[in-house]
């Protein structure tokens, strides 16, 4: 993996946990003690003065963690109300419950009880964790609904801390599981201040409702690294489980196999031959073509071209039709312009081997994109297909054939639905069971079908390669990135990286990460034009 950190599915997490316990080197009780201690430690770090806490403990091992947290917070002087269920099938959780009972009482985990007890400074949700596969029901659903009401205003009082994950969220997809009995039977979505998850992020922490539900996400090391690395490597060698990574530039480095983001990004950019190398010249830094569209629609392609230039392509040529040439006369002067009126001219341009990347789609017009697309695909040159090119692609007679793994498709949700209506339909279904069909499942299937890298944009961008490798990037902290034209900048940035010789999957991942970092660096008030201007500062900060 190039960037960030591994994401584990709930099944992989269970397998790693089992392998650790079967080795005899660690017991389930020890892991539970470490998990509880990690949460109690994070709570004490954030709220050093002992206060009051209500701890809600469910029937599984997540509940077991809750009893450990109760014991440790009580020892630290916190005033506690602990609510739990009678029937605890797991031996470890049952033991942790016994240990707590020697210290304090357990009230029944009912909605009535939760209403009766006085408000605390924090509520700790240890009801369900990664073992949840069906929607919460009955009394527990009512408790969760009440918990959602009590903590609806986010950072108000009581604050909500969730153990491993918000209860009721499918951790493989980030969607709330629904009973199908109507909203009154389902829990309210939770809105936590802090989530302390164990060992690795799960897809549900980063996808869909996950980021809003989790609040600040902290990944706690509970000593499973040795087994994780072995299992993940074995799975990768056996080609059973393609890599799923989080592009998470701010994420701390967790193990020796991964460098920090800037080191990894440097490696990627270093792969671009002489990019940034003193001996390189403009052609060895790559020549990118950005196709523009009819008069009056030039802004999108210009944004893309500017991003390709700032992204480090050695040369960028903007290619509008003759009739639109005049509107592109302004800056940047570094940008070359060349008219492109028909498919024959693209064919001629692509005979130049120095053209190392092409961007088709932003502001292009669907008809023009459709007329140029066959030649572009025929040349199998690294390319980004965005916007109108995606609409044209969805209507092409041989779709999804004709692409190669050096193409990057960058649809937003609407374009994705045009390209892959069945997958979009499955994503829109109301999830009744876990693991629910996720954006990662959808993207892996999409990339496999068309043989190209597919990047589905959104606050939770997912990128997948035809071989199943995938990344999730969460930009939920930069909502101001959702403004007109930022997608065009992303397309241009990726084509800039392609032109520098970076492979499609990594160019897409690096593009997404740098794009969001640029938005984060600028802050609210951002317009798409500001993004390319952030790149020089960002590259300097990252040492790229």
What span, in angstroms and rounded, lies between the C-alpha atoms of 431 and 424? 14
Residue 245, annotated as binding a ligand: no
Between 293 and 501, CB nearer to ligand ADP: 293
Between 135 and 299, CB nearer to ligand NPW: 135
Q: What is the DSSP string of 32-85?
A: HHHHHHHHHHHHHHH--S--EEEEEE-SSHHHHHHHHHHHHHHHTT-EEEEEE-
CB of 64 to ligand ADP, least distance (A): 36
Give the H/E segment covering residue 286.
none
Among residues 376, 490, 503, 535, the one that binds ligand ADP under rule CB under 6 A:
490
Among ligand ADP, K ion, ligand NPW, none, residue 140 binds (CB under 5-8 Å by kind): ligand NPW
Q: Are strands 216-220 and 244-247 parallel, antiparallel or unpaired?
A: unpaired
Closest CA to 453 of 438, 440, 439, 463: 463
Residue 24, annotated as binding a ligand: no
Among residues 310, 444, 457, 520, the one that binds ligand ADP under rule CB under 6 A:
457
Between 163 and 502, CB nearer to ligand NPW: 163
Among ligand ADP, K ion, ligand NPW, none, residue 412 binds (CB under 5-8 Å by kind): ligand ADP
59 binds ligand NPW (CB under 6 A): yes
Between 228 and 285, CB nearer to ligand NPW: 228
Structure tokens at 67: 């009893």
Structure tokens at 154: 């986010």
Give the H/E segment covering residue 220.
strand 216-220
Among residues 245, 485, 496, 511, the one that binds ligand ADP under rule CB under 6 A:
485
45 binds ligand ADP (CB under 6 A): no
3-state secondary structure of 125: strand
Among residues 91, 156, 479, 536, the one that binds ligand ADP under rule CB under 6 A:
479
201 binds ligand NPW (CB under 6 A): no
Among residues 6, 33, 92, 125, the one that binds K ion under rule CB under 5 A:
125
Task: Give the CB-side neighbour count of residue 216, counting CA atoms within 13 A.
Answer: 12
Between 335 and 490, CB nearer to ligand ADP: 490
What span, in angstroms and rounded, lies between the C-alpha atoms of 94 and 116? 26
What span, in angstroms and rounded, lies between the C-alpha atoms of 53 and 123? 6
Task: Give the CB-side neighbour count of residue 341, counting CA atoms within 13 A.
Answer: 3
Among residues 6, 7, 9, 17, the one that binds ligand NPW under rule CB under 6 A:
17
Instruction: Tell me which long-range contacts 336-342 makes (C-beta under 8 A, separation of at least 24).
Output: 340/291, 340/372, 342/371
Sign of CA dihedral 95, 96, 102, 108: negative
Between 6 and 17, CB nearer to ligand NPW: 17
CB of 329 to ligand ADP, least distance (A): 23
231 binds ligand ADP (CB under 6 A): no
CA distances from 544 to 118, 268, 403 (A): 54, 10, 31
List interacting residues with ligand ADP (CB under 6 A). Answer: 412, 457-459, 461, 475, 478-479, 481-482, 484-488, 490, 515
List interacting residues with ligand NPW (CB under 6 A). Answer: 13, 17, 31-32, 35, 58-65, 90, 128-134, 136-138, 140, 163-164, 198-199, 222, 224
Feature table: binding site: 61-65, 125, 129-135, 164, 167, 300, 363, 412, 457-461, 487-488
């Amino acid at each position: 993996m190039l960037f960030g950190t591994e994401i584990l599915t709930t099944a992989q997490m269970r397998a790693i946990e089992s392998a650790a316990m079967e080795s005899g080197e660690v017991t389930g009780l020890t892991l539970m003690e470490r998990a509880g201690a990690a949460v109690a430690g994070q709570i004490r770090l954030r709220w050093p003065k002992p206060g009051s806490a209500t701890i809600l403990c469910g029937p599984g091992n997540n509940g077991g963690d809750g009893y450990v947290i109760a014991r440790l917070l009580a020892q630290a002087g916190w005033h506690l109300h602990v609510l739990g269920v009678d029937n605890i099938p797991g031996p470890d959780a049952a033991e942790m419950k016994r240990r707590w009972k020697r210290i304090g009482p357990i009230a029944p985990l009912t909605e009535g009880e939760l209403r009766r007890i006085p408000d605390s400074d924090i509520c700790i949700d240890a009801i369900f964790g990664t073992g949840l596969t069906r929607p919460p029901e009955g009394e527990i659903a009512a408790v969760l609904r009440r918990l959602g009401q009590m903590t609806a205003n986010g950072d108000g009082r009581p604050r909500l801390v969730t153990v491993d994950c918000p209860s009721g969220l499918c951790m493989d997809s980030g969607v709330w599981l629904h009973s199908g009995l109507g909203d009154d039977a389902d829990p309210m979505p939770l809105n936590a201040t802090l989530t302390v998850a164990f060992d690795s992020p799960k897809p549900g922490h980063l996808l869909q409702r996950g980021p809003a539900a989790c609040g600040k996400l902290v990944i706690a090391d509970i000593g499973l690294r040795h087994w994780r690395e072995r299992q993940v490597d074995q799975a990768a060698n056996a080609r059973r489980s393609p890599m799923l990574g989080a592009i998470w530039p701010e994420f701390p480095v967790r193990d020796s196999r991964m460098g920090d983001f800037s080191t990894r990004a440097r490696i990627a950019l270093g792969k671009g031959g002489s990019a940034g190398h003193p001996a390189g010249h403009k052609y060895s830094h790559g020549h990118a073509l950005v196709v523009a569209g009819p008069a009056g629609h030039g802004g999108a392609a210009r944004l893309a071209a500017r991003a390709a230039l700032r992204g480090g392509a050695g040369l960028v040529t903007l290619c509008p039709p003759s009739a639109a040439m005049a509107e592109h006369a302004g800056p940047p002067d570094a940008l070359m312009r060349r008219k492109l009126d028909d498919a024959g001219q693209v064919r001629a341009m692509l005979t130049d081997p120095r053209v190392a990347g092409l961007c088709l789609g932003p502001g292009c017009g669907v008809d023009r994109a459709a007329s140029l697309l066959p030649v572009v695909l025929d040349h199998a040159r690294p390319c980004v297909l965005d916007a109108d090119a995606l609409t044209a692609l969805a209507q092409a007679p041989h779709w999804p054939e004709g692409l190669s793994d050096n193409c990057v498709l960058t649809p937003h949700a609407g374009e994705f639905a045009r390209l892959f209506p069945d997958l979009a339909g499955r994503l829109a279904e109301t999830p009744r069971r876990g693991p629910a069909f996720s954006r990662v499942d959808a993207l892996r299937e999409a990339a496999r079908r068309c043989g190209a890298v597919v990047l589905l944009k959104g606050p939770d961008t997912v990128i997948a390669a035809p071989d199943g490798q995938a990344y999730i990037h969460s930009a939920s902290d930069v909502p101001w990135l959702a403004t007109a034209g930022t997608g065009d900048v992303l397309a241009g940035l990726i084509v800039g990286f392609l032109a520098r010789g970076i492979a499609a999957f990594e160019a897409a991942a690096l593009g997404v990460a740098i794009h969001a970092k640029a938005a984060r660096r600028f802050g609210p008030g951002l317009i798409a034009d500001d993004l390319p201007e952030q790149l020089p500062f960002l590259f300097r900060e990252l040492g790229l």
